[in-house]
Structure formats: structure tokens, C-alpha cells
Chains A and B, each alone.
Chain A
Amino acid sequence: MKVGVITYPGSNCDDDAVYTLQETCGWQTDRLWHKDTPSLSEYKLLVLPGGFSYGDYLRCGAMAALSPIMENVKAFADAGGYVLGICNGFQVLCEAGLLPGALAKNDSLRFVCKDVDLKVETNDSPWTNFLKAGDTLSLPIAHGDGRYIIEESDFAQMRGRHQILLTYQNNPNGSAFDVAGVCNEKKNVFGLMPHPERASDLRSRNGMGVWRSIQSVLEKA
């Protein structure tokens, strides 16, 4: 199984993602460069990693969303391909219109790095099917712009469609409705602020829940 990790200028969790996917999950992992426009059809999963693409100088993820590779990523997602955005990658997916909502500066106006307890809202998704709804999942966060913004009506609709996958038990950043991770309506695109790739072998193995979930889907596909 082949997966791809995209590097933007300023990505800094790309190495961590490659390490986890390759060494811990055992998947063949390619690095993809934001200026290239390769065929993505050979990949089962694309990962947009964490970091500070373009220094977060305009709006987090806004510049990266305009990278040459993003046209291909959109086509890949439209065709049902699986795309995961972690932290800055989540911000890029929102800016690119692949996920609803937006991410703004934490309400504390400060960067925050710590382990947080998440609630698994549903296991009716390719990303959480290995987990139990209602369970607590502890994962690290590290971000300055993790406050998820969404209209209440949109949120209600998303919840009804089981698009809200993870919420914070003690909201660390002021996210609307405690949202930590959401997917699109087709559920093939998932974005989350916490870092499963940092919790897959060393600090804890809690992040493996996400990888095992998607693995079972990709192996069937």
C-alpha cells in the first residue's frame, strides 16, 4: 500500500508523518513536493502534515491551499481518494474548501502544546471505525491557530451526518462546539488539530487508533 505526504515550504511535521506511516504502520510512503503536479492515482492516502506553511503569515494554510499540487489533491478527493490533514494540514484543507469551517487563533492568543483528552463522537467513519464512540482518546496538540469556527446550523447538519469525529473534553483553544476533528460529507477527507503521528510508538500508542481505522478501509478498497 502506497501513501503520500506533501511538503509545503514551512511544513515541519512531514518527517514525523513519514516516519510513523513508514516505520510504525509499515506503509510505503512517498514524499510529495508542493510545486510538483504528479499523478496521485497510485496513492491510497494523502497526508497534509503539520507545520507553518508559508510561515502562517497571511492566514494559516491560505497560501498552501494555492500550491500547484492542490489542484491534483482536489481532483483526488473528488474522485473519492482518502485525504488526511493534521494541524496545519487541517487548516490547508479548510482553506482549500475540502473541509467545512475555518481555523482561527486560539482564544488565549498563545501557542499551546500538551496532551488533551478527546471524545470519539462517532465510529461511523473510515477514520474512527477502530475506536468506540464515546471513548476517551488522549492525543497531543501543538498549535497557535486551532480554534475551529463554524455556524451553528452547519454544525448541526454536520453532526447529523456524523461528520464531527473528535471533540475536546476540556476545550484548549475556544473551538466552536469543542470541535477537534471533522470530515467532509463523503467522509473521505478528514482534518484534525491533534497529532496522531506523535502518539504512535513513543509517547503513547493512542494515535494508532486512527491509522488502524483507515488501514482497514484502504485494504478493502
Chain B
Amino acid sequence: MIADTQITDVALAKQLGLTAQEYDFICRKLERKPNYAELGICSAMYSEHCSYKSSKPHLRKLPTQGPRVLQGPGENAGAIDIGEGWAVIFKMESHNHPSFIEPYQGAATGVGGILRDVFTMGARPIASMNGLCFGSETNPVTHGLVRGVVKGIGDYGNCVGVPTVAGQTFFHPCYNGNNLVNAFTAGLVRHENIFRASASGVGNILVYAGAKTGRDGVHGATMASKEFSSEKEPERPTVQVGDPFTEKLLLEATLEAMQKGLIQSIQDMGAAGLTSSSFEMADRAKTGLHLNLDKIPSREHGMSAYELLLSESQERMLIVTQEDKFDGLKAVFDKWDLDAEIIGVITEGKKVTMTYKGETVVDMPVDLVANPPMAERPLSAPSDLKQLWFMDRNQLMVAPLQQKIDRLLDTINFADPTPLTQQYDSMVGNRTEGGTFDDAAVLRLREIKSKPLRLAFSTDCNPRICQLDPREGGRRAIVESALNLAVRGATPIGVTDCLNFGNPENPEVMWRFSESVEGIAEACEALKVPVVSGNVSLYNDTDSRPIYPTPMIGMVGLIEGEQKLPYSNFFGTELELAIIGNLEASLGGSQLAYQWFKRDCGQPAATDLPASQRMIKFLGQLAKKNMAYAAHDISEGGLVVAALEMAFRSPYPETGVEIQIPSRIEIDEVLFGETCPRVLLAYAPENRVEIETLCSRSAVKFNKIGNTTDKAKFKVTQGLAVLSDMSVSTVKETWQNKWKGFFN
């Protein structure tokens, strides 16, 4: 007999975020009304955040197979074979809503959650990255959000001891009411030590391990599946509180218990806490569970079944093991001063029952909870796309070049990230090689002795392009991420995606979602990189204004062999410069267009996918030549920004650039265009022939465009005309100082 101390109705169900149809569905399947705790379980598991009910049908379009794939989507994280019996485990996940309500804890627990997803799979985390999008720099709340988010990421990752090695930060007014915090972590594991989250083996016990349960974060998943209104204060108790010290202990205890053979399978208690971990583990194994909630270690008195089930207290694990292994398991967790308690057992019958204080408080079929009905969301193409694509090209054409350069650079999006990045420990682990926060970070794998292997990590998304043409935005996020790896000499091997969009009940948002996913799928297929993990974050709106579509990509690349890393800066003052790819590129959706017209406009040109694939291959071959050269992906801000960034990072302060634009070529398109793929290459003149030969053999275009100088000037000429001649050091000083204001 089920405890029915509080019988539910439609009104209560709606209050908890369920629809009338969903409530009706639950009643029919149960053949009775759910009680309060059961309704809470459904509310969390039917939320967009846990169920993917709007996105799942679209996600099926993503390519998830490949010869290196050891684990695709559906587990805590994806796994890719890197050779020598080793695998890289990785995933990117959003923590947007909590980070807007409470930036420090929201960002910190975002890092904590993704770390757990990775070590739950048996891997030791070796690197983290993040993708951050904030509102306008002039918005008074932005500075506080940036400070809180950056400190939250740093304090958590630094303490646990996983280096933060790369990231992307983007400011745009569309994020004024809803910033994005996307966290990526990768870990290393031997193939045979990969753990999965499946509650198999009837009679096996369920062990709760880690921190105690409190009332924090109750119903966080439901909160993350709602739009914000300007009244955000009441949501504060739904944000979880992180403790990186406990996470570090949990990481070490978990890996030690795994190594000792004391764990059969395991899942972390993330969104929807014990509810999602228990139902999902049972669902994967097609078993049932019985839980005794009295056994849950709690740190507050008088918690109800509802609160115990839906708490999102951090740093907790649900472990499946054999009963005779419990003593050994407990000893390991005791050593690390953590709780480990038997709270349940695996049963036959594909249902979950729970008792609390002598009563049965939950009795539900696994399938009803773990596989909610999908939502059918209508799609419709926005009617205003054609207007967005209009750009007054003539107005740009007649403006003096220097004025365009000045406006292009006058944005927080063109800034030295050092004041932010040096708050992160980027070196702990002693694997980080050379410059972090370049196009991609490169880490040696010191535990693999049989062969020199390195991993590279990059993250990318251009929300402007995604707004103007979401299909192209999806393609470009993939290709740019891949180019970021390739310029460091790495071969892309796997993708994780973090898809941040607005309210899926808005057909235009859903159309953009569908288009973006198809764009990602097209590009992944062309480049033959599988998507092995990911996350969808919807309802990123405030007062019904959706954010720009932001499919943030995390990509992993592999470097095999001893090759020297290419430079990412101008390493001399007598180098030649060449654009690999087309000389001219489209201004549609460019940073210049936004900076000039004060709105995102123009139609972005489509990424040439076959050319991208050839270029990535070319860059891989070039890296194997052990020739000194520098390479940098040309993206936001075009050639001007790419060349300036390479000059700023030069070890020689006198480094300058001279760009010579051939006659009868459109100057703006060369300097500011952003069509993908284009890469800026710098090399010693004596190596030109060899590079050009490799280009023609690889069927990629080689366009010599200028050279570096020792005059500390950024100079642009066409024939005899000097179109720009500005001081590099002056621009650099402005570039360096922009971020400092955030951290005073």
C-alpha cells in the first residue's frame, strides 16, 4: 500500500512544471494518482533538462559512430580510443541557469558536475575548458557575473587540481538576461577500466557514497527548464553549493575503489539527484530497485522523502556492487573521510520501490519515469531572416579603412584574456605543453610510455552566425573547432556538444535548433568526427526573448609522434605571411558588420566542407615536417584580428605586420571577411616553396599576403597606396587593458 499522505492533482502538477497531459499520462500508467514524492520524481524526470523531450528526436541526426568510438552518447560521458590501450573520456555540460541566479556557486558546481561525469567513467580528469557567454559589457550586472563565474570556475578546478587549459568568452547583448556557462572536462583511462552506469545483477547492493544530503538544489532540474522572469530572487534556494575539497576526496576514493575492484558500476548524483541516478541506472540494466531512504546520510534534520529524492547536494555517487565487497568499499571511503552506506538493492521486475519511516513512499515502473513521452514541438523558419541578411555594403565601401579597423577592434570581444585566464591553474598535472588559451591547448600524456601521444582541446561557437543562419552556425562551430586543433598539428578525433537555445515551445527557436543540429551533423560527417557526448540547455530566455542559438562545441584532437608544436605567434620579424584558403571572404555575420552597423547582419557564406577537410589534412601533414612555422585560424574579426593576435604574442616588441593586398581585390573582404576555412600561416621565406608544393598537392589554396617587419606597425598597402599604418604597441596596450576593469 502506497503512502498517500498528500494526494496530488493537476494544479499541483502544473505548479511543479508538468503539463496536464503529462499528469494524465502518469495517472493512467500508475492506475492511480501519484503521491507528492512520486509527482516530484516525475516533475524532475519529465523536465526538459533530464528528459530531452524536445531535443531527442533531433539529436538522433548526429553521427555517433566511428572506429575510435568506445562509448557514444547515453552514458555519463563519451569515450574515444587514442591507441596503446588508452581512451580519452570527455563531455561538455551547461550550468547556465544556476550561474545567472548565483554566478559563483553556479559556475563552481558546473565544473564539479562535469568532473564527476568524467571520473565516474573511471578516468582521471586531466584538463578542463569552458565556453562563457555574457551580456553587454555596459550592462551593469555583467561585471559582477563575470567576476563570480570566473572565481567559481577557478576556485573549484584549482582546488580539485584539474588544469583549466582553454576557453572561449563572448559578450553580446542577447545574453543580458541569461549568461551561458558551459564546462568541459576530459580524462584518461585504460580501455579495460572504463566504468558504466548500469544497475545490473539482481541482489547486488546500491551504495550511497560521498557528501551528505542537504536541502540545497531541491528541484534544480525543473528550475533549469523554465524561462527566467525579471523576478529571479525566489529561485535562489534551487542553486546547489559546491565543495571542491570533498570532490577531490571523492575523486581519489572513487578511483581507488575502482582500481581495487570494489565497484561494478556507478553514476554521479547530478541533476535531479538520487532520483535520476537510481531510475537511469535501473533503466539501462532493465532491472528494478528497492531503496530505503532512512539510510541516506543527511546533514539536515526532518528531511521529507521528497527532499531526499530531489536534493541536488553535490559530490555524491550511487554505486552498484556485490554485497561481499561492501566492507572493502567502506574502508576506502573511510580512508578519505567520506560516507558510504548501503541504501538499497537491485530487484527483478523493472520497478522502483522506496520506503521511508516504515512506509512505502514510492512504487513506480522504471519505464514510466525514465522514458517520458517526447514532446512534439512545431518548427517554423523565422520570417525576418531576409531582413537580417540585408547589409548596406556601400556604406562600408566608402568608409576609410582605418576607421573600419578602429571600430572593429573597439569591443570587449577583442581583448587579452590573461587577466581572466591566469586565475585558473593551467599547469597542475604537469602535462600542459606551451601556450594555453591559444587556438587549442596541448597536453602530453605522461602516463603513456609506449608511444609519444598528446591530446589537444578546443572549444568554439560563433553565435552571430548561428543567429543569422543556424545551419551554417552549426557547421562552422565544428569546422572552426577542428581548425583550432589542426593549426596545432592535431587530428580531430571526437566531439562533445553543448546546445544552448531558447524556449523550445517557440517554433522559431525550435527551427533554429533543428537547423543547427543538422549543420553540426553535416560537418561532423564531412570531417569524420563522431559526437560522443553532449548536453542540451533550453529555456535560455528572459521575459520571452531567446538568446542567440549557441551550440558550443568541445573537440578533442590527437598528436602522434614526437613532432614539434607549431608556433601560434610571429616568432620572427622577417617571416612571410600567407592565407591558406580563399583570399576574400564574406562579411555576412562578421564582427565588422556588427561593430559598424550596431546589429548582426549580412548573410554568412557557407563553409566549404570538402575544402575544410583538405585543409585539416594539409595542416596535419605540415606539422609532421618539423619546419618552424606559425599558424592561426582566421575567424571572428578576420585577418586583421588574426594577424594582430599573432603579433601581440611575439617575443619581440618591435614585431610589425605588412599586408599587401593585390590589385583588383576587395580590401574589406580580405581583411575582415570570416568565411571558413581560412588559416594565417607565417614561415621563413626559404620554406615557401616546400609549403606551396604541399598546398598544391593537398588541393588547398595558398595566397601570399605579406610579411612581418621590425617596425612595430600594422601596415596595409594596395599597390603604392598605404591604407593603414598604425602602431602595434598602442593597439596592444588597449587590448591588454580591456579585461582589467572587470577584476579591479
Contact = CB atoms under 8 A, between A and B. Distances in A.
Interface of A: 9-10, 12-13, 15-16, 19-20, 23, 35, 50-52, 54-57, 108, 110-114, 140, 142, 144, 195, 197-198, 202-203
14 contacts: A9-B245, A10-B245, A16-B429, A20-B430, A35-B335, A51-B161, A52-B161, A108-B743, A110-B151, A111-B424, A112-B423, A142-B427, A202-B432, A203-B433
Nearest to B124: A15
B341 interface: no
Given A16-B430, A197-B430, A111 B158 contact: yes
Given A55-B244, A203-B432, A13 B423 contact: no
Interface in B420-439: 422-434
Nearest to B154: A111
B245 A142 contact: no
Contacts of A10: 159, 245, 248-249
Nearest to B245: A55
B427 A203 contact: yes
- 9 shortest interchain CB distances as A-B pairs: A12-B161, A55-B245, A16-B430, A52-B159, A142-B425, A113-B425, A114-B422, A111-B423, A198-B427
Nearest to A57: B245
A56 B245 CA distance: 9
Contacts of A20: 430
A144 B158 contact: yes
Nearest to A55: B245
Given A56-B159, A111-B155, A9 B249 contact: yes
B564 interface: no
A19 B248 contact: no
A93 to B, nearest CB: 20
Contacts of A197: 430
Given A16-B428, A56-B159, 12 more contacts: A9-B245, A10-B249, A12-B248, A12-B428, A13-B428, A15-B429, A20-B430, A35-B335, A52-B161, A142-B158, A202-B433, A203-B432
Scoring B151, B158, B243, B424 by chain A CB atoms within 10 A of each residue's CB, the highest score goes to: B158
Contacts of A35: 335
A110 B158 contact: no
A174 B449 CA distance: 41
B427 A110 contact: no
Contacts of A19: 430, 446
Nearest to A23: B446
A113 B423 contact: yes
A114 B419 CA distance: 11
Contacts of B426: 113
Nearest to A9: B249
B348 interface: no
B157 to A, nearest CB: 10
B404 to A, nearest CB: 34
Contacts of B432: 202-203
A51 B423 CA distance: 15
A54 B161 CA distance: 13
Scoring B244, B428, B431 by chain A CB atoms within 10 A of each residue's CB, the highest score goes to: B428
A52 B431 CA distance: 19
Contacts of B245: 9-10, 52, 54-57
Contacts of B244: 52, 55
A52 B160 CA distance: 8
B649 interface: no
Nearest to A110: B423
B161 A202 contact: no
A133 to B, nearest CB: 27
A70 B245 CA distance: 21
Interface in B231-264: 243-246, 248-249
B444 interface: yes
Contacts of A15: 429-430
A51 B158 CA distance: 8
Nearest to B426: A113
A10 B161 CA distance: 9
Interface string B129-167: 000000000000000000000010011001111000000
B336 interface: yes
Contacts of B155: 111
Contacts of B246: 55
B520 to A, nearest CB: 33
Contact of B248 (A52, A57, A203): A52
A185 B158 CA distance: 33
B285 to A, nearest CB: 34
Nearest to A114: B422
Contacts of A142: 158, 425, 427-428
Contacts of A110: 151, 423, 743
Contacts of B608: none
A198 B444 CA distance: 13
Nearest to B418: A114
A112 B248 contact: no
A110 B743 CA distance: 9
Contacts of B249: 9-10
Interface in B332-351: 335-337
Contacts of B161: 12-13, 51-52
Contacts of B243: 55
Contacts of A114: 422
Contacts of A51: 161
A195 B432 CA distance: 14
